[in-house]
Chains A and B, each alone.
Chain A
Amino acid sequence: MRIFDPHIHMTSRTTDDYAAMAAHGVQALVEPAFWLGQPRTSVGSFVDYFDALIGWEPFRASQYGIKHHCTIALNPKEANDPRCREVLEVLPRYLAKDGVVAVGEVGYDSMTPEEDEVFATQLQLAKQFELPVLVHTPHRDKAAGTTRTLAVVKESGLEPHSVVVDHLNELTVKEVADSGCWMGFSIYPDTKMDPDRMVVILQQFGTERILVNSAADWGKSDPLRTYATGQAMLAAGFTEDDVDQVLWRNPVAFYGQSQRLDLTGTEPDDTYEGNSILRGARA
């Protein structure tokens, strides 16, 4: 099983996590810029964080044979803090980098006017830099937040296929499926989605335009939830080719729209029409 985790915050994870991910087939990942639990109070903290996302963290990942890319944005939570607003001015510098494959995470947290403005501004930056967009949906008032998110995306003039709307669940997936945007799901130990519920959604909506991520960060989370979802899919009767589509080819197709994805050195698909040609040679 080869895995591309399209959303994971490796800055918060240990080298043991990198080793375990590599051992379970994770060969590539995207680390979205988000908040760090502790609020930041100046633009300098963001600049250092962005520098780590395009410098130090890809180096750490490479030591475990994992390709690391990132997304860059001012996240919705900190968009509300006037001390962080200047971050918008440094974004163009980072959106020009090779390792940056999307604008994100943008979207809503508390659905304030400040969030409206910062979200819309960054959607225009995505157009300008010809990058896809990773949109976070709020944890509180999720369904209403998702509806509003889709309206803002539509208004921006961006093509739906260049946008993934993330952290979906049973109640929000249909609206996003109908919009033409990509559907993102975060698989968590306790909250958000779990592998078995994910399988049910895949049975209902199919395997296209769907991204499955661990969204592992500094909270209680698990970088191997992508692998667990692949196993749950196989147990439910999906083929290895279905799993490869969801856990590898879909994220490659979505982030590949940036024209900046560099996957040299990753191993090719070891399945052909659902049969493993390695016959269990790898975990």
Chain B
Amino acid sequence: MRPEVLTPATELEMLLPASARTWLAEARRQPLETAFPAAARKVGRDRLSPAWTTDQAVRVLLLVGAPATDVLDVYRYGDAAEKLAVLHALSVADVAHPLDDQALPIIEDAIRTNDRRLLAAALGPYATHHLPQHAFRQAVLKCVFADVPLAVVDGLPKRVDQELIRMMSDFAAERSAAGRDTPADLEAYLTCPP
């Protein structure tokens, strides 16, 4: 994975207020399945930076060093906020690198849902690196259907290929035949192919 797009865990630690750091140290001694769901109630949900809230940052840090089975399990039994935190964790180097491609089932699950937040979060750098091309094209088209702006897809425009352009063009033709507008962020790909 391209190292420049991943966040180091130390950067997240530095964002945390002291109270959240104290709780995190305590929570690391608890079972993950207890600490992970409780995190938001314990540390709050304040925004720390454009990309991170306190609960998400703490949940991601709880996953540093966790074996792949635990990460998959926490996602499997997570509510929407927990699932989002696991997806965000895959853009953090200290979580993503040791997992290699073992977290791919999580990305595939999130793409299958109809929850726009999960779909958008699934298409970060981890998906750019690990998601097979066919699944990537389908996910991009699903974003168009679900009104997820294409700007949030990390793999765009670099993973665009002729087949994706064809799928986008067919979609635009279908919309036009139905008398509906084509989303503006799709037009850009149709008029300036790679």
Contact = CB atoms under 8 A, between A and B. Distances in A.
A96 B81 CA distance: 13
Contacts of A56: 113-115
A260 B37 CA distance: 12
A98 B81 CA distance: 9
Contacts of A55: 79-80, 83, 115
Interface string B14-48: 00000000000000000001100110110000000
A58 B115 CA distance: 10
Contact of A96 (B38, B83, B113, B114): B38
A55 B112 CA distance: 14
Given A56-B115, A93-B33, A259-B41, A98 B79 contact: yes
B37 A96 contact: yes
Interface string A54-70: 11101100000000000
A154 interface: no
Nearest to B116: A59
B33 A99 contact: no
Interface core residue of A54, A58, A260 (most chain B CB under 10 Å): A54
B79 A97 contact: yes
Contacts of B41: 98, 259-260
Contacts of A54: 79-80
B74 to A, nearest CB: 11
A11 B1 CA distance: 40
B97 to A, nearest CB: 28
Contacts of A260: 41
A217 to B, nearest CB: 22
A71 B128 CA distance: 38
B43 to A, nearest CB: 12
A55 B37 CA distance: 13
Contacts of B81: 98
A98 B115 contact: no
Nearest to A53: B79
Contact of A93 (B77, B113, B117): B77
Nearest to B39: A98
B98 to A, nearest CB: 25
A54 to B, nearest CB: 4
Contacts of B117: 59
Contacts of A259: 41
Interface in B73-100: 77, 79-81, 83
Nearest to A94: B77
Q: What 9 pairs between A and B have smallest CB-CB spacing?
A: A54-B79, A96-B37, A55-B80, A59-B115, A97-B79, A97-B37, A93-B77, A98-B40, A99-B79
Interface of A: 51, 54-56, 58-59, 93, 96-99, 259-260
Interface of B: 33-34, 37-38, 40-41, 77, 79-81, 83, 113-115, 117
Given A59-B115, A99-B79, 12 more contacts: A51-B77, A54-B79, A54-B80, A56-B115, A58-B79, A59-B117, A93-B33, A96-B33, A96-B37, A97-B79, A98-B37, A98-B81
